[in-house]
Amino acid sequence: MSWLNREALKAMSESSKSVKYSIVVPVYNEQESITPFYGRVREVVDNIGRPFEIVFVNDGSSDRTAQVLRELASVDSRVTVVTLRKNSGKSIALGVGFSVARGDYVITMDGDLQHNPAEIPYFIDKLDQGYDIVCGRRMTHEGSYLQRTSTWIANRVLAQLTGINIHDWGVGFKAYKRELLAEVPIYGELQRLIPALALRRGVRVCEVPIHVLPRENGTSKYSVSRKMHVFLDVVTVRFLLRYLARPLHFFGTAGVASIAAGCGIGFWLLYRLLIGVHVMPDHGPALIFAAVLILAGVQLLALGLLAEMQVRHYYQGRSQNAPYEVADILRAESREERISD
């Protein structure tokens, strides 16, 4: 092979590494859905004509999901498979997918065939217009009346607390600029709150209408009880937006207020004692309440200091304290890379 041909193949190999879009898909026990999902996505993105990759994150599936994914990766070098040793939840799976993705933009989808790949161009159009985050908005909602009502209330409360006018926080069909995801901590059930967590960076957010398809295989991983966790996330996002990097400001303020209130009651009781009043018989409950307030304030201050230490430790040793364990990463080698080697 001539030097010129080697250089051309090397250039082709380098260009193949330049991925424009990464489609991150967390899957858990979706063996029947993966192959048709892959086929539909490939058909859409091939028509778009831009470099892309599909990152499947196998979240500790117990069925044949891992085997199906390996077969796909063996025939398509654009498929990357990340396998977690145990089921860690959707947030962790997405975070792992984000760390592996190489594209300039990241599109997240569910692998259960409820998200229609034909709507991917709508998200790409909005990204091309300069938006940082594009959220899908379901035009139809399935489920019971209780599920629909709780979802509507949670969406309204989240929109009011964050100041982001998103009508559907729970949908997993979203698109992001990749650099935003590197600065957003994702754990627990916070995957739906990524736009709120990225708000501090002044992002531009918009919505596109999507149509959720009926589930063809498997069962839903979300019950009514899990959806009720959204209300706890409302408290979490409010705290994260204001006190994520300065928890002592939250706990310290409450602690100082508690200590001040306890000392105020204590000085009043001391004054009553000096003028001849028997404090314990007449004001025993007030004395106990003052002591409790002072003790609680000291504990809140200590808790705030411990939280500050945890924050420092997290940001300084973030890469060494990942809340997940990757079993292996399977990324097929392209034909051009094999030839150039």
In the CATH hierarchy, which fold is given to the domain comprising 3-244? Spore Coat Polysaccharide Biosynthesis Protein SpsA; Chain A (3.90.550)
Listed residue (58, 57, 62, 81) closest to 71, CA to CA: 81
pLDDT tens, residue by residue, 122-133: 999 999 999 999
How confident is the model at residue 16, as a pLDDT?
A: 45
Q: Are 84 and 327 in contact (CB under 8 A)?
A: yes
| Model confidence at 144: pLDDT above 70 | no
Domain ranges for the chain: 3-244, 247-320
pLDDT tens, residue by residue, 271-290: 888 887 887 888 888 989 99
State how far the Cα of 170 lies from the Cα of 119, in Å rounded to an integer: 18
Helix-helix angle 31-48:120-128, to 10 degrees? 50
How confident is the model at residue 121, as a pLDDT?
A: 94
Note the pTM of the prediction, 2 decimals.
0.69
46's tokens: 């091939």
How confident is the model at residue 324, as a pLDDT?
A: 60
Instruction: Name the DSSP letter for residue 223.
Output: -
Residue 29's contacts (CB-CB under 8 Å, 6 or more residues apart) are 61, 62, 63, 65, 218
State how far the Cα of 51 lies from the Cα of 48, in Å rounded to an integer: 9
| Model confidence at 5: pLDDT above 50 | no
How confident is the model at residue 7, as a pLDDT?
A: 40
Backbone φ and ψ for 287, nearest 5 degrees, come out as -65, -45
* Choice among 90-104, 238-252, 289-303 with the minimum mean pLDDT: 238-252
Share the mean pLDDT of the chain. 80
The greatest distance separating any two alpha carbons of the chain, rounded to the nearest whole angstrom, comes to 106
State how far the Cα of 317 lies from the Cα of 321, in Å rounded to an integer: 6
Residues recorded for the chain? 341
- For 46-70, b where at least 16 C-beta lie within 10 A, e where not — what string? eeeeebbbbbbbbbbbeeebbebbb
C-alpha distance from residue 210 to each of 47, 71, 138, 246, 331 (Å):
20, 30, 5, 38, 31
pLDDT tens, residue by residue, 46-94: 998 889 999 999 998 988 999 999 999 999 989 999 999 888 888 888 8
How confident is the model at residue 220, as a pLDDT?
A: 58
How far from the centroid of its chain's Cα atoms is residue 231's Cα?
Answer: 16
Helices (H), the chain: 3-17, 31-48, 65-75, 90-100, 120-128, 145-162, 178-181, 194-197, 224-227, 229-243, 247-274, 279-316, 335-340
Q: Which of 162-171, 178-187, 245-254 has the highest mean pLDDT?
A: 245-254
